[in-house]
Amino acid sequence: MSTQDLSQNRLGFVSLVGAGPGDPDLLTVKGHRVIQQAEVVVYDRLVSEEILALAAKDAEMIYVGKKLDYHCVPQDQINQLLVEKAKQGKNVVRLKGGDSFIFGRGGEELEELADNGIRFEVVPGITAAAGATAYAGIPLTHRDHAQSVQFITGHVQKDGREIEWRALAQSNNTLVFYMGLKQSGYIRDRLLETGLDENMSCAIIENGTRKEQRVFTGPLKDLAAMAKDAVSPSLIVVGNVTSLHDKLKWF
Ligand code: SAH
């Protein structure tokens, strides 16, 4: 290793790793390797025990998980923690559920690292929309049912600008709402108002890819009632593709 490499190493390094939606086997090979090599692992609530167990016995494990409306560690403190550990020369893994760039605030954390001149890499993960629907036998696109798919935050009112409901409400579009359980009544009302049929088929996938996975299906008009029976983490999927669940379910 050259002197330059050594001096760069002393600055530390952060791998932003997506752990996938639940089933630990859905971690990527690269994610697996960097977790094993980490000196510090900073992780969220949705990361499984099996994946955390891949870290070295002497790795420092730091939990910064969040629950809805309750932030264990505020985002700016998480950002600072990553910067601090990297500045100590540590090899840090920042581990998040699903994919870090899809409703995971991965971009914000990397901006902070970039501002502080810290080197990083991004290891993608299987996002809940891909993993949970695969395990529920719901193809996100299908020649007969959907020519497009959109991932939407259910925190519609909280997270900034109102979304363009009219653009979403197309019968050949699949809609996947993250964090949508509490807002399911609002989501249903906006979609009905802007053009979807009240009998458009929908699914809620609870604990997707985990042993406890449950899938609820029904018409859009019943979405809020379906959501009452589901617990977090759950995805709401709206679109004709959800009608394939009965035929294609396998898990
Ligand atoms: N970055 C993550 C999403 C974080 S937001 C990803 O790419 O998957 C958290 C939301 O993701 C939850 O409220 C839920 O809507 C969804 N989610 C995460 N894991 C899930 C799972 N196993 N089953 C269903 N939904 C899940």
For 171-204, what is each residue's pLDDT tens digit?
999 999 999 999 999 999 999 999 999 999 999 9
Model confidence band, residue 159 (pLDDT cutoffs 50, 70, 90): low
pLDDT digits (tens, 9 = 90+) for 21-56: 999 999 999 999 999 999 999 999 889 999 999 999
Handedness of CA 238, 239, 244, 250 (dihedral sign): negative
Is the CB–ligand 1 distance for residue 134 below 6 Å?
Answer: no
Q: How far is Cα 113 from Cα 42, in angstroms, rounded to an integer?
A: 14
- CA 97 to ligand 1 centroid distance, Å: 7
pLDDT band (50, 70, 90) for residue 162: confident
Q: Is 110 in the pocket of ligand 1 (CB under 6 A)?
A: no
**pLDDT value, residue 155:** 84
Per-residue model confidence as pLDDT tens digits over 209-222: 999 999 999 999 99
* Catalytic positions, written as ranges: 44, 66
Asked if the model's pLDDT at residue 8 lies above 70, the reply is: no
Nearest residue (CA) to ligand 1, atom 13? 179
Q: Which domains does the chain have, with CATH numbers?
A: 3-123 (3.40.1010.10), 128-248 (3.30.950.10)
Does the pLDDT at position 3 exceed 50? no
Residue 208 CB–ligand 1 contact under 6 Å: yes
Residue 144, CA distances (Å) to 155, 171, 207, 244 in order: 30, 11, 28, 11
CA of 233 to the centre of ligand 1 (A): 6
Atom 19 of ligand 1, nearest CA residue: 21
Considering the chain, what percentage of its residues have pLDDT values greater than 70?
91
Average pLDDT over residues 74-99: 95
Is the peptide bond between 233 and the residue preceding it cis, with omega within 30 degrees of 0? yes
> pLDDT at residue 246 above 80?
yes
Q: Could you tell me the distance, in angstroms and rounded to a whole number, from the CA of residue 88 to the centre of ligand 1?
A: 32
User: Which atom of ligand 1 approaches the CA of 180 most closely?
Assistant: 15
**Beta-carbon contacts of residue 70 (< 8 Å; ≥ 6 apart):** none
Q: How far apart are CA 114 and CA 98, in angstroms?
A: 23
Which residues fall within 8 angstroms of residue 248, CB to CB, at 6 or more apart?
Answer: 137, 138, 139
Ligand 1: distance of its center to the CA of 89 in Å? 32
User: In this predicted structure, what is the pLDDT of residue 67?
Assistant: 60
Per-residue pLDDT, averaged over 218-227, amounts to: 98
* Atom 6 of ligand 1, residue of closest alpha carbon: 98
Q: Which of 166, 151, 176, 164 is nearest to 236 (CA)?
A: 176
167: which 2 tokens? 């653009």
Angle at 67 between CA 191 and CA 42, to 5 degrees: 120
Long-range (24+ apart) CB contacts under 8 A made by 213-220 are 213/22, 213/132, 213/135, 213/136, 213/251, 215/136, 215/245, 215/249, 217/242, 217/243, 217/245, 217/246, 220/188, 220/191, 220/192, 220/196
Ligand 1: does its nearest atom lie under 6 Å from the Cβ of 128? yes
pLDDT top residue among 109 and 160: 109
